[in-house]
């Protein structure tokens, strides 16, 4: 025994483990280490040293060898290759020429450009970092409020969490053992709805306060059509990935590999040097290792929770409540919003889903629908203080814009996210229609 409780009360051991993990997290210990240490101690407490350490030791290999996880480096590589090939600048340039004339046009262009880049990157922080370099200087040049300029980039980056290919949707699928293909398809329409609501909020506020985001005019139809060939590869890759998954002639991993190959060929055709290819591969490897390490550490903790019986006990308590299931769902989403103020999105989902997911399914909610809803909540957490990872990324790239201004700039987009979640709760068919056609 380590905690001195004894094996006869695994539920109490589980509660103590959860409390200890929260203490570590609030003290600033990285989730991967906090979860792995607490999980190991809990497994040893419940099963003895030999069995507990043995169980913890098998988790990294057994989980990282899952075929579904191989899609992550493919999607990440697509994003880095597209960025280094200059596709990002062309995407924003095209959006600016086509949409810049509306109130807040450059900010609206940034929303749709980030949505387009999200469709080939799958990483929120990478999207925010890229457009901090590409879009913010242009908006400031045309007199945009710096809070709006920074806020729209931070918020636009979160669209990568929903629009396929999405790394966090893949992680959700692995945790709950759901179809990666169905989840990726389910994220497409909600991601588009989220982008449209962002754009509507920007245009409405800019019309009310024209100095916030003045329209940019002067582009001819010739200029607009001339910008389209440069962005064709991005839409081609997106179409290939979604079509391949939808029609079933390729797995998500195979579709991702094909997309990465196409972007790689285009990058070489545009003159990408070997040093840049190497940099893209290294950045992909670093981000992949970070995500895999987080999965390993948290899944050791998840295995401990399974032995403690805590998820089952929570499920029985939830389904025994005499309230409408939607009320419980809203309370869970509020809890996610609070927890997300102190944790990163992936760590939050990895830690909570093993406990929350069985209860949600027992209440009768659809697994795919809940996945999109909870990932959308993870998007919200990427821009809310005090963590707000995307806001820190923007500040890291543009230290001339104070962090406080960036957090104030995302207020509009927090309101937009609340509206989006309400729409998805009220009209679940937005999420389930596309995957249901494949089932």
Which DSSP string do the residues of 407-424 spell out, in sequence order?
Answer: HHHTHHHHHHHHHHHHHH
Position 30 in a domain: yes
Q: What is the total count of domains within the chain? A: 1
Q: Which residues of 315-328 are buried (b: 16+ CB within 10 A; e: fewer)?
A: beebeeeeeeeeeb
Q: Which of 333, 337, 348, 344 is nearest to 389 (CA)?
A: 344
Position 129 in a domain: yes
User: CA-to-CA distance for 378 and 385, rounded, in angstroms?
Assistant: 13
pLDDT of residue 8: 55
- Please write the tens of the pLDDT for every residue from 101-120: 899 889 999 999 888 887 77
Position 42 in a domain: yes
Low-confidence ranges of the chain (pLDDT < 50): 1, 5-6
Residues 380, 335 contacting (CB under 8 angstroms): no
pLDDT of residue 432: 92
**pTM beyond cutoff 0.85:** no
Position 160 in a domain: yes
pLDDT of residue 439: 64
Position 179 in a domain: yes
User: CA-to-CA distance for 76 and 86, rounded, in angstroms?
Assistant: 16
Q: In percent, how much of the chain has pLDDT > 70?
A: 95
pLDDT of residue 354: 81
Position 1 in a domain: no
User: What residue spans of 163-309 are helical by DSSP H?
Assistant: 167-176, 180-186, 188-208, 221-226, 228-247, 252-269, 274-308
Q: 158 Cβ partners below 8 Å, 6+ apart? A: 124, 379, 380, 382, 383, 390
Provide the domain limits for residue 419.
10-438
Q: 413 Cβ partners below 8 Å, 6+ apart? A: 151, 152, 154, 155, 198, 201, 383
pLDDT of residue 152: 92
Position 359 in a domain: yes
pLDDT of residue 342: 67
Position 370 in a domain: yes
Tokens 């998500």 sit on residue: 252
């Amino acid at each position: 025994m380590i905690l001195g409780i004894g094996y006869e009360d695994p539920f109490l051991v589980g509660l103590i483990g959860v409390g200890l993990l929260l203490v570590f997290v609030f003290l600033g210990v990285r989730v991967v280490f906090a979860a792995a240490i607490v999980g190991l101690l809990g497994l040893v407490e419940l099963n003895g040293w030999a069995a507990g350490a043995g169980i913890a030791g098998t988790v990294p290999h057994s989980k990282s060898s899952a075929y579904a996880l191989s899609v992550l480096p493919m999607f990440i590589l697509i994003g880095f290759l597209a960025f280094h090939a200059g596709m990002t600048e062309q995407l924003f340039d095209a959006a600016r020429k086509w949409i810049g004339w509306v109130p807040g046009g450059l900010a609206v262009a940034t929303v749709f450009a980030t949505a387009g880049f999200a469709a080939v990157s799958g990483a929120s922080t990478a999207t925010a970092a890229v457009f901090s370099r590409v879009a913010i200087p242009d908006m400031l040049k045309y007199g945009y409020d710096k809070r709006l300029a920074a806020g729209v980039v931070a918020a636009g980056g979160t669209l990568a969490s929903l629009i396929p290919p999405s790394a966090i949707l893949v992680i959700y699928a692995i945790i709950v053992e759901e179809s990666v293909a169905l989840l990726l398809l389910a994220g497409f329409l909600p991601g588009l709805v989220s982008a449209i609501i962002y754009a509507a909020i920007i245009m409405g506020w800019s019309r009310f306060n024209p100095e916030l985001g003045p329209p940019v005019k002067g582009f001819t139809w010739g200029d607009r059509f001339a910008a389209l060939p440069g962005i064709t590869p991005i839409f081609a890759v997106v179409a290939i990935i979604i079509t391949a998954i939808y029609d079933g002639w390729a797995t998500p991993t195979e579709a991702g590999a094909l997309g990465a190959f196409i972007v790689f060929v285009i990058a070489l055709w545009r003159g990408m040097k070997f040093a840049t290819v190497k940099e893209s591969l290294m950045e992909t490897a670093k981000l992949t290792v970070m995500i895999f390490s987080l999965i390993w550490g948290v899944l050791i903790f998840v295995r401990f929770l399974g032995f403690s019986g805590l998820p089952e006990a929570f499920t029985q308590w939830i389904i025994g409540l005499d309230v409408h299931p939607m009320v419980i769902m809203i309370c869970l989403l509020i809890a996610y919003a609070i927890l997300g103020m102190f944790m990163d999105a992936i760590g939050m989902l990895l830690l909570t889903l093993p406990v929350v997911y069985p209860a949600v399914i027992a209440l009768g909610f659809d697994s795919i629908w809940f996945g999109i809803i909870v990932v959308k909540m993870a998007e919200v957490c990427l821009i809310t203080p005090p963590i707000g990872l995307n806001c820190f990324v923007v500040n890291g790239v543009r230290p001339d814009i104070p962090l406080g201004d960036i957090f104030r700039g995302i207020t509009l987009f927090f309101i937009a996210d609340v509206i989006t979640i309400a729409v998805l709760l009220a009209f679940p068919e937005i999420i389930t229609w596309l995957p249901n056609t494949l089932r």
